Amino acid sequence: METIWQGLAKAYELLKAGDPELYQIVWLTLRVSGTATLLSILAGVPLGVWLALSRFRGRGLIVGLVNTTMGLPPVVVGLWVAIFLWRSGPLSFLGIMYTPSAMVVAQCVIAGPLVTGFTMAGISQLNPKLRLQLLALGASRWQLFWLLVREARLSILAAIMAGFGGAISEVGASMMVGGNILGQTRVLTTATVMEVSKGRFDVGIALSLILLLLSYGITYGLTLLQQRGHQA
Amino acid sequence: MTALLEVLGLRYQPGGHRILDVPAFAVAEGEVLAIIGPNGAGKSSLMQAVGLLQPAEFGEYRWEGRSVKLPAESLALRRQMAMVMQDSLLLSETVYHNVALGLSLRGIAGAGLKTQVLDMLDRLGIAHLARRPARRLSGGEAQRVSLARALVLKPRLLFLDEPFAALDVLARSQMLRDLRGLLTADRITALFVTHDFSEIPVVADRVAVMFGGEIRQVGTPFAVFNRPADPAVRELVQVAHDLVRTLQPESANR
């Protein structure tokens, strides 16, 4: 119990002191996970809508793949992304190994299937005749897509929250492709692991609390949006 | 009367399973054509196919006598039509926004949109519901909103797919009378799928009878119910005759 109090005190101390290293880590955490979530939304929402509405041979395989990858262990993702980005890997020409860009790629692999899968489930829950009704009211393909996304907004916001949660909370992938380099690729999760491995539990707990606070703040904002949608 | 819509060689067979096989089908300008038939006869599929909502095959698709190129002209044509289904299928918005939806999709906004929406809400007697969330409506209210959402578009062709099937008999009767008045006032052509034969005399000018994806007979209600074209149609319309006989004074049934 004492360690927890020490961690709380340390968190307060770090935030109050305005430690530039901490703020740099927090900013990078937000930048990497925010970008990964945004890219996952841009790819995952249209893909989820398409998979929910389309019927074609092989669809079951793709849906199964999406569902399987919703639970990918981050360390496995990190390993495979690293293999592709290493100097000898097929994507080595990108030259992004051990940079925040590599971490964004890895987090996209984690968050993308979550956004896709939950979007697909949300759209599938709508009345199947709604698509026909909207077309019958004169919706173009894009208008139909947008209206269905709006109608399933509660589920899609949940999908975004799940994607963001998956991205910001993972550590294995960021560690493997980012390397936890101070000032370059160190984020809250990798810093926490490092501090705990050094036996500095108070700092580790402090960082984890800041991460939780950050995650809660953003998720709370999305929840408010979701509940406003629920009242409409 | 000239045909507003005429289709030739209509086939719809998803996955090789035949749903529709209609060599020729036409709807005259200004008429209300009721479509009857047992479950699975293809009534709703026919509406969805001619409404360009399903990827059916057409030998030819004519609109006001002009051959239409599909799918190139599909969106423009769909915007001259509207549909009301059995489920009201309203969006999770206010009644006003639901009724405004189709106009918004056509790029209409501002005062013009507001005037048209409020006028239609008024004509259907639901102006007081304008700000109410659609999810808080009763079944009858929701179906009036659904009807308003379609009629505000002033469609040339309106599809009504068992729109009142879920309503109680009094609400249904009132809605039917209101619908007939609005269709006549706005000179809207309509296809009306129903299982309830008592609705036919109130709204329909002609009746089409479907079985197994085919149209077996088209004619006035009197002709279809009194001169059925084949045994299947005869069996279907017999239900109406039995009902009428049941309602006769007992002495007349002996």
CATH of the domain at A214: 1.10.3720.10
Mutation pick from A137, A155, A157 vs chain B, by most beta carbons of B within 10 Å, is A137
Residue matched to tokens 């008999």: B169
Vertex B222: Cα angle to B218 and B227 (nearest 5) = 70
pLDDT average, residue stretch B48-64 = 93
Contact A89, A83 (CB under 8 A): yes
d(CA A100, CA B241): 78
Residue B109: the pLDDT is 92
Closest C-alpha among B136, B143, B129 to residue B176: B143
Question: Which residue in chain A is spatially nearest to B47 when comparing CA positions?
Answer: A136
How many A/B residue pairs have CB atoms within 8 Å? 52
Residue A152: the pLDDT is 93
Tell me, yes or no, whether A125 lies in a domain. Answer: yes
Mutation pick from B92, B96, B154, B158 vs chain A, by most beta carbons of A within 10 Å, is B92
Cα A44 from chain centroid (whole Å) = 11
pLDDT average, residue stretch B117-130 = 94
Question: Which residue in chain A is spatially nearest to B152 when comparing CA positions?
Answer: A137
pLDDT average, residue stretch A14-37 = 91
- CB neighbour list of residue B239: distance below 8 Å, 6 or more residues apart: B197
Q: Do B153 and A136 touch (CB under 8 A)?
A: no
Tell me, yes or no, whether A11 lies in a domain. Answer: no
Residue A231: the pLDDT is 57
Tell me, yes or no, whether A123 lies in a domain. Answer: yes
Tell me, yes or no, whether A184 lies in a domain. Answer: yes
**Interval A35-94: pLDDT, tens:** 999 999 999 999 999 999 988 889 999 999 999 999 999 999 999 999 999 999 999 999
Tally the domains of chain A: 1
Give the strand pairing for B20-28 and B206-211: unpaired
Rounded (10°) angle between helices A20-53 and A188-197: 130
Residue B254: the pLDDT is 53
Give the strand pairing for B60-63 and B32-36: unpaired
Residue A78: the pLDDT is 95
Q: Which of A66-75, B61-70, B166-175, B187-196 has the lowest mean pLDDT?
A: B166-175
Question: Which residue in chain B is spatially nearest to A231 when comparing CA positions?
Answer: B133
Mean pLDDT score of chain B: 91
pLDDT class for B252, splitting at 50, 70, 90?
low
- Residue B148, classified by CB atoms within 10 Å of its CB into exposed (0-12), middle (13-18) or buried (19+), is buried
pLDDT average, residue stretch B149-154 = 96
Q: Do B78 and A136 touch (CB under 8 A)?
A: yes
Tell me, yes or no, whether A5 lies in a domain. Answer: no
Residue B205: the pLDDT is 93
Q: Beta-strand (E) ranges in A37-130?
A: none
pLDDT average, residue stretch B129-136 = 93
The shortest C-alpha distance from A120 to chain B (Å) reads 19
Q: From chain B, which residues contact A within 8 Å (Cβ)?
A: 48, 51, 53, 75, 78-79, 81-83, 85, 87, 89, 91-94, 101-102, 105-106, 133, 149-150, 153, 159
Mutation pick from B54, B77, B83 vs chain A, by most beta carbons of A within 10 Å, is B83
Q: Which of A28-42, B87-101, B232-246 has the lowest mean pLDDT?
A: B232-246
Give A103-143 as a DSSP string: HHHHHHHHHHHHHHHHHHHHHHTS-THHHHHHHHTT--HHH
**Which domain range does residue A104 map to?**
21-231
B92: chain A residues, CB-CB within 8 Å: 151, 229, 232
**Interval A202-217: pLDDT, tens:** 888 889 999 999 999 9
Asked if the peptide bond before residue B155 counts as cis, ω within 30 degrees of 0, the response is no
Contact A123, A53 (CB under 8 A): yes
Mutation pick from B47, B50, B53, B95 vs chain A, by most beta carbons of A within 10 Å, is B53
pTM above 0.90, yes or no: no
**Interval B69-94: pLDDT, tens:** 988 999 999 999 999 999 999 999 99
Q: Do A151 and B91 touch (CB under 8 A)?
A: yes
Closest C-alpha among B230, B253, B248 to residue B238: B230
Percent of chain B with pLDDT over 90: 71
Contact A98, A180 (CB under 8 A): no
Question: Which residue in chain A is spatially nearest to B73 when comparing CA positions?
Answer: A140
Q: Do A127 and B89 touch (CB under 8 A)?
A: yes
Tell me, yes or no, whether A146 lies in a domain. Answer: yes
pLDDT class for B152, splitting at 50, 70, 90?
very high
B85: chain A residues, CB-CB within 8 Å: 129, 132-133
Residue A109: the pLDDT is 97
Percent of chain B with pLDDT over 70: 97
Task: Map residue B191 onto helix, strand or coil.
Answer: strand
Residue B15: the pLDDT is 81
Task: Map residue B18 onto helix, strand or coil.
Answer: coil
Partner-chain residue, chosen from A136, A140, A232, that has the shortest CB–CB distance to B81? A136
Tell me, yes or no, whether A14 lies in a domain. Answer: no
Ramachandran region, residue A74 (left: φ > 0; alpha: ψ -120 to 50; beta: rest): alpha
Tell me, yes or no, whether A33 lies in a domain. Answer: yes
Q: Do A151 and B94 touch (CB under 8 A)?
A: no
d(CA B248, CA B108): 53
Residue B134: the pLDDT is 93
Predicted complex ipTM: 0.91
Partner-chain residue, chosen from A133, A140, A229, that has the shortest CB–CB distance to B85? A133
Residue B215: the pLDDT is 95
